[in-house]
Amino acid sequence: MRTDLTRRGLLAIALSGTALAALPGPAAALDLSTARSLIDRLVEEVNRIINSGESEQQMFVDFEAVFVKYSDVPIIARSALGVAARSASPAQMAAFTKAFQGYLSRKYGRRFREFIGGKIIVVDAHPLNENFEVVSVAKLQGQAPFDLRWWVSSKSGRDLFYNIIIEGVNMLATERTEIGAMLDQQHGNIDALVAQLKVSG
């Protein structure tokens, strides 16, 4: 199952209250400067990849490495799986998390490939509840600039981002809906969902 992530296809989705249960809590060791520094480094790597001239498949490999390095993959995966995560075995959760990170890297890697010839620039950072939001702007050739917002926390013990807002579209809320629909297609079978994710994105 693929979702249209082109600019025309993006629709603003509010983060549902149920998704909040899986989000990181207070970021005790994190401050505004370190949150912004994290996203500065992430954006630098993304800019390098999108303008590297690499093949699509190699870009996906590189995007997955960046995703694993800078994001709180377990938190994002658990949020996406929703209530089904409560009944998943540790082995199932590990398999889902691994498959989900590849799926998300391919899906958003295709979105970032639209930025080839352009650049992402970090412009602001501010507190977001007990975490932080870092604001960046994508400047693409022949298009009006638009913003990407990164939510950062240190709940896992490391400074990591756990959500992206692209032109008002909330990744966590979107993926919770998408993964929920996939799981319904598989009649609640998490193992079948994992197999589907491996060939999706």
What is the percent of the chain where pLDDT is above 70? 86
45 vs 41: CA distance, rounded Å = 6
Q: Which residues, 6 or more positions from 74, have their beta carbon under 8 angstroms from its beta carbon?
A: 97, 156
Please give the tally of structural domains in the chain.
1
Tell me, yes or no, whether 19 lies in a domain.
Answer: no
Name the band, by pLDDT with cuts 50, 70 and 90, for residue 174: very high
Tell me, yes or no, whether 8 lies in a domain.
Answer: no
Tell me, yes or no, whether 11 lies in a domain.
Answer: no
CATH code where residue 139 lies: 3.10.450.710
pTM of this structure: 0.81
* Region 31-54 average pLDDT: 93
pLDDT tens-place string over residues 105-144: 999 989 888 888 889 999 999 999 889 999 999 998 888 9
Tell me, yes or no, whether 15 lies in a domain.
Answer: no
Q: Which domain holds residue 85?
A: 26-197
Tell me, yes or no, whether 16 lies in a domain.
Answer: no
